[in-house]
């Protein structure tokens, strides 16, 4: 009976030790089918799904090389002309001109700033009184209580281009 208790505890240990090497990550896929995995979430324009990832140790107990380095490059040297891909940086579609705290402050103060999206503007000012689109660019018109108009123009990406 003492031996079966030991084997039961060992099995429990193995179960928890393998679980510690597992995590869930976000699988982000853009309109072109390019897939990126990140812990920080996906950009708004990407499809996001949760992906369970685990890397259990092989039964031999020795680490396994997941990818072999290229023989014609030195360590740390990139062969592509793109440079490294940054994973985890959120792209707001407007060039990240404003930090999230700057956007949040602008929305609370009902300000319109370059780098804000249509949804940011609607969060700050509500739905526009009038809107139109021409050549892929949108314009929102807001009227205040005195009848004055405020126009906000967006570029083809839905980012604030100008305000009047």
Q: Please determine, for residue 90, whether its predicted confidence score (pLDDT) is greater than 70.
A: no
pLDDT of residue 17: 47
Q: Are residues 107 and 159 in the same domain?
A: yes
The larger pLDDT score, comparing residue 76 to residue 42, is at 42
In a domain, 94, yes or no: no
Number of domains in the chain: 2
Mean pLDDT of 101-118: 91
Report if residue 95 sits inside a domain: no
**pLDDT of 140 over the 90 cut:** yes
Q: What confidence score (pLDDT) does residue 97 get? A: 85
Q: Are 131 and 141 in contact (CB under 8 A)?
A: yes
Distances in Å between the alpha carbon of 67 and those of 70, 72, 77?
A: 9, 15, 15
> Is 150 part of any domain?
yes
User: Is 12 inside a domain boundary?
Assistant: no
Instruction: Report which of 112, 114, 108 is spatially closest to residue 128, judged by C-alpha positions.
Output: 112
Range of the domain at 46: 22-56
Cβ–Cβ < 8 Å for 125, 61: no
Q: Which of 8-12, 52-56, 108-112, 155-159 has the lowest mean pLDDT?
A: 8-12
Is 116 inside any structural domain?
A: yes
- Is 113 inside a domain boundary? yes
Q: Residue 19's pLDDT is what?
A: 44
pLDDT at 25: 81
């Amino acid at each position: 009976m003492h031996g079966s208790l030991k084997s039961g505890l060992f099995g429990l240990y193995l179960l928890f030790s393998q679980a510690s090497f597992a995590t869930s990550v976000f699988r982000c896929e853009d309109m072109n089918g390019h897939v990126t995995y990140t812990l920080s979430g996906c950009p708004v324009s990407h499809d996001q799904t949760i992906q369970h990832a685990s890397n259990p140790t092989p039964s031999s107990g020795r680490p396994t090389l997941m990818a072999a380095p290229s023989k014609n490059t030195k360590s740390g040297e990139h062969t592509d002309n793109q440079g490294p891909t940054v994973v985890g940086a959120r792209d707001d579609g407007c060039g990240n001109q404003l930090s999230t705290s700057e956007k949040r402050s602008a929305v609370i103060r009902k300000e319109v700033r370059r780098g804000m999206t249509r949804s940011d503007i609607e969060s700050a000012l509500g739905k526009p009184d009038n809107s139109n689109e021409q050549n892929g660019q949108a314009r929102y018109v807001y009227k205040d209580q005195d009848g004055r108009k405020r126009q906000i123009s967006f570029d083809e990406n839905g980012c604030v281009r100008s305000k009047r």
